Chain A
Amino acid sequence: MNNLTTYLAISAALFLLGVLAMMTRKSAVSVLMGVELVLNAGGLNFVAFSRFGNGSLNGQAAALFIMIIAAAEAAVALAIFLNLYRLKASAEVDKADTLQW
């Protein structure tokens, strides 16, 4: 039960659900939620590999950096969504089809 395969399977399931959210959702905020699921899956993988094996903490350090990147990415992405909402009156990813206005 508590072995590496279990954690890798959970992480793969989270990753696939995140990819599915990114592909099927219309609202940009939901796409961002999909990205967060994928980042969580990556972090879980790193921590699982650091728990099993030779016992170094490098995997946990990598998971910490993933969290930092996720925080920065969420802040910038939401600023972009606010601008998109102002320009197009909706934050759907299909509406972001102009490069310049």
Chain B
Amino acid sequence: MEILQNIVFVFFVLLTVISAGVVVFHKRIIYSAFALLFTFFGVAALYVYLAADFLAASQVLIYVGGILTLIIFGVFLTAKITTLEIPDETHQRYIALIPVALLGVGLFWMIFSAPWDSTLRSVEPTTKPLGKLLLTEYLVPFEVASMLLLAALIGAMRLARFYKKEEV
């Protein structure tokens, strides 16, 4: 049973990291967008492993249902579509690898050398305490976030509409 759990966990980890690699390196942008779907699902599965049930559900709802749909619309609206193969070349790949590799060495050295506290919290449903937390301790950030979403909604509509010169 332990072995089976570990196999499933490793599967989700590999799904997340490999599909993120496809997002970065694939030549066709629509394949990147669909690989991002699997990355989001993998992260949602990792949230389940971390006993964050509400966050796993909202990850699927918001990222897959909202953001990924927006991104795919963005792909189709910003390209001349002749076939499904909308190319997107990577450039400066080898120069960019140098700072990323330096950053990676630093990050992984820090992660594997620090003495982390690995005591597990008990697994409980998180929706109710999270809701209480949002409406008591985090009330001001919560309201600010709702204002931010409203402003982003109106601003995006204003930006995306095409105005004639004299209308502006």
Contacts and interface: CB of A to CB of B under 8 A. Distances in A.
Given A7-B50, A57-B130, A23 B100 contact: yes
Interface residues of B, number: 81
A14 B52 contact: no
Contacts of A6: 13
B71 A10 contact: no
Contact of A36 (B29, B67, B77): B67
A17 B36 CA distance: 12
Given A29-B71, A79-B159, A24 B92 contact: yes
B23 A33 contact: yes
Interface string B53-64: 011001100110
Main secondary structure of the interface of B (DSSP, over half): helix
Given A24-B91, A40-B39, A74 B70 contact: yes
B121 A2 contact: no
B159 A20 contact: no
Interface in A65-100: 65, 67-76, 78-86, 90-91
Contacts of B75: 29
Interface residues of A, number: 72
Interface string B68-102: 00110111011100000000111111001101100
A30 B160 contact: no
B107 interface: yes
B117 A16 contact: no
A51 B77 contact: no
Contacts of A58: 133
26 contacts: A4-B117, A5-B118, A9-B112, A13-B17, A13-B20, A14-B43, A20-B24, A23-B96, A23-B100, A24-B90, A27-B29, A32-B74, A36-B67, A37-B20, A43-B55, A47-B50, A53-B121, A57-B129, A58-B133, A60-B52, A63-B55, A65-B145, A79-B157, A82-B74, A83-B160, A85-B77
Interface of B: 6, 9, 13, 16-17, 20-21, 23-24, 29, 32-33, 36, 39-40, 43, 46-47, 49-52, 54-55, 58-59, 62-63, 66-67, 70-71, 73-75, 77-79, 88-93, 96-97, 99-100, 103-104, 107-108, 111-112, 116-122, 126, 129-130, 133-134, 137-138, 141, 145, 148-149, 151-153, 155-157, 159-160, 162
Nearest first, the 4 closest Cβ-Cβ pairs linking A and B are: A55-B121, A72-B152, A91-B78, A79-B159
